[in-house]
Amino acid sequence: MAMEYVKLNNGVTMPLEGFGVFQIPDRDECEHVVLEALEAGYRLIDTAAVYGNEEAVGAAIRRSGLPREELFVTTKLWVQDASYEGAKSALRSSLEKLGLEHVDLYLVHQPMGDYHGAYRAMEEMCRQGVTRAIGVANFYPAVLADLCETAGTVPAVNQVELHPFFAQAAALENMRAYGVHPQAWGPLAEGKHGIFTHAVLAGIGERYGKSPAQVALRWNVQRGVSVIPKSVHRDRMAENFDIWDFALTDDEMGAIAKMDLGHSEIVDHGDPAFVKMLHGLKIHD
């Protein structure tokens, strides 16, 4: 079986699995691992202005020699630039750093600041072809519903925390109701809860010759969720990408769903201190 794809609500096709570069700020290391990911078969690369590695991602893309049309590049608008004019300037800056004429997906990174104004600018930039699709990240159900009811363009993607310990079934139902595709950041729970050795995942994996991580990723894609696992180790990159030759049963899907804790243990967007911290994180003068 080969990599599967999803058609977004505006007709753009996106790989169901990509490679994330969060927390790889070192230029040489990031360029190296992105090049390795591309060599391993990944075609979706997910970065963000706040990650500080857009230039490295662009360098790896150029070194790969792959045709631009084979790649799907995502970047994100940071809180500092969440305004109508700020978004226009920020995307131009991201394109310059990436060395690209357009990105495939541009996301509002956090539901903070004047994201309504920013989103209006993103709608315009999408019509101009500077980005092929637009969406959001970390928009929880009520916030996503408000944007969908307000904006002229329904977001193509909502990238949120989704893994067996935070399944967010109600959030997925809300996204589907609006035609927004769910994408999982932290699909391996950032290594928490012993996910790489978890008994439920390991037991299921033994039936297919797969690791707990592969089972966790497969569980999400079978729920219709795209995933962007990150690793700096080539063997782990290859392992994470090798999830297209088996399928979980309904009982196995249900057993994994029971692992849900019902809350995040990574971030809390309801915490004023967390919101203040994000607003205080400046990526330029």
pLDDT value for 1: 62
Longest dimension (CA), the chain: 54
Q: Is residue 2 part of a domain?
A: no
Please tell me the total count of domains within the chain: 1
Catalytic residues: 51
Q: How would residue 110 be classed by pLDDT, with cut points 50, 70 and 90?
A: very high
Q: Which two tokens stand for residue 248?
A: 């979980």
Q: Is residue 3 part of a domain?
A: no
Q: For residue 270, what is the domain's CATH number?
A: 3.20.20.100
Residues 82-101 have a mean pLDDT of: 98
Q: Is residue 224 part of a domain?
A: yes
Place of tokens 């490679």: 19
Q: Is residue 201 part of a domain?
A: yes
pLDDT value for 23: 87
Dihedral sign, Cα of residue 47, residue 49, residue 50, residue 53: positive
Half-sphere exposure of 198 (CA within 13 A, CB side): 21
Q: Domain of residue 165: give its range.
A: 12-280
Q: Is residue 5 part of a domain?
A: no
* Three-state secondary structure of the chain: CCCCEEECCCCCEEECECEECCCCCCHHHHHHHHHHHHHHCCCEEECCHHHCCHHHHHHHHHHHCCCHHHCEEEEEECHHHCCHHHHHHHHHHHHHHHCCCCECEEEECCCCCCHHHHHHHHHHHHHCCCECCEEEECCCHHHHHHHHHHCCCCCCEEEEECECCECCHHHHHHHHHHCCEEEEECCCHHHHHHCCCCHHHHHHHHHHCCCHHHHHHHHHHHCCCEECCCCCCHHHHHHHHCCCCCCCCHHHHHHHHCCCCCCCCCCCCCCHHHHHHHHHCCCCC
Distance CA 212, CA 205 (A): 6
Average pLDDT, the chain: 96
Q: Is residue 213 part of a domain?
A: yes
Q: What is the pTM of this model?
A: 0.96
Q: State pLDDT tens for residues 207-224.
A: 999 999 999 999 999 999
Residues 116-125 have a mean pLDDT of: 98
